[in-house]
Amino acid sequence: MRYFFLIYALVIVFVISTFGFRGDKFKKPPIRIFPDMDEQDYVKAQKPNNFYANGMSGQKPVTGTIPQGHSTDLSVESELKGYGNKETYLHTGKFNDKNFGKGFPTELELENAENVTALLTRGQEVFGYKCSVCHGLSGNGKGAAKANGFIPDISNLRTSELVEGALYDVITNGRGNMGQMGSDLSLYDRWAAVAYVKGLQASAKADYNNPKIKEIFDAANK
Tell me how many domains the chain contains.
1
Whether pLDDT at 106 is above 70: yes
Whether pLDDT at 49 is above 70: yes
- Tell whether 25 is covered by a domain: no
What's the mean pLDDT when you consider all of the chain?
83
Whether pLDDT at 215 is above 80: no
pLDDT computed for residue 102 by the predictor = 93
- Tell whether 49 is covered by a domain: no
Which comes out higher in pLDDT, residue 131 or 85?
131
Which CATH number does the domain housing residue 215 bear? 1.10.760.10
What does the alpha-carbon distance between residue 53 and residue 209 come to, in Å, rounded to a whole number? 75
What does the alpha-carbon distance between residue 146 and residue 136 come to, in Å, rounded to a whole number? 9
Give the tens place of pLDDT for each residue, 2-27: 667 778 778 877 777 666 566 677 77
pLDDT computed for residue 1 by the predictor = 61
- Tell whether 41 is covered by a domain: no
Segment 202-211 shows an average pLDDT of: 78
pLDDT computed for residue 138 by the predictor = 85
Full residue range of the structural domain in which residue 106 is found: 79-220
pLDDT computed for residue 2 by the predictor = 65
pLDDT computed for residue 71 by the predictor = 67
Could you tell me which residues come within 8 angstroms of residue 156 by beta carbon, excluding any fewer than 6 positions away?
135, 139, 140, 141
- Tell whether 40 is covered by a domain: no
Which comes out higher in pLDDT, residue 174 or 222?
174
Segment 148-165 shows an average pLDDT of: 85
Whether pLDDT at 30 is above 80: no
pLDDT computed for residue 195 by the predictor = 95
pLDDT computed for residue 221 by the predictor = 58
- Tell whether 46 is covered by a domain: no
HEC sequence for the chain: CHHHHHHHHHHHHHHHHHHCCCCCCCCCCCCCCCCCCCCCCCCCCCCECCCCCCCECCCCCCCCCCCCCCCCCCCHHHHHHCCCCCCCHHHHCECCCCCECCCCCHHHCCCCHHHHHHHHHHHHHHHHHHHHHHHCCCCCCCCHHHHCCCCCCCCCCCCCCCCHHHHHHHHHHCECCECCCCCCCCHHHHHHHHHHHHHHHHHHCCCCCCHHHHHHHHHHCC
pLDDT computed for residue 127 by the predictor = 94
- Tell whether 72 is covered by a domain: no
Which comes out higher in pLDDT, residue 193 or 8?
193
Give the tens place of pLDDT for each residue, 165-191: 999 999 999 988 888 998 899 999 999
- Tell whether 19 is covered by a domain: no
Q: Is the dihedral of CA 214, 220, 221, 222 positive or negative?
A: positive
- Tell whether 167 is covered by a domain: yes
**Confidence bin at 139 (pLDDT 50/70/90):** confident
The model carries a pTM of: 0.67
| 186: nearest Cα among 90, 57, 101 | 90
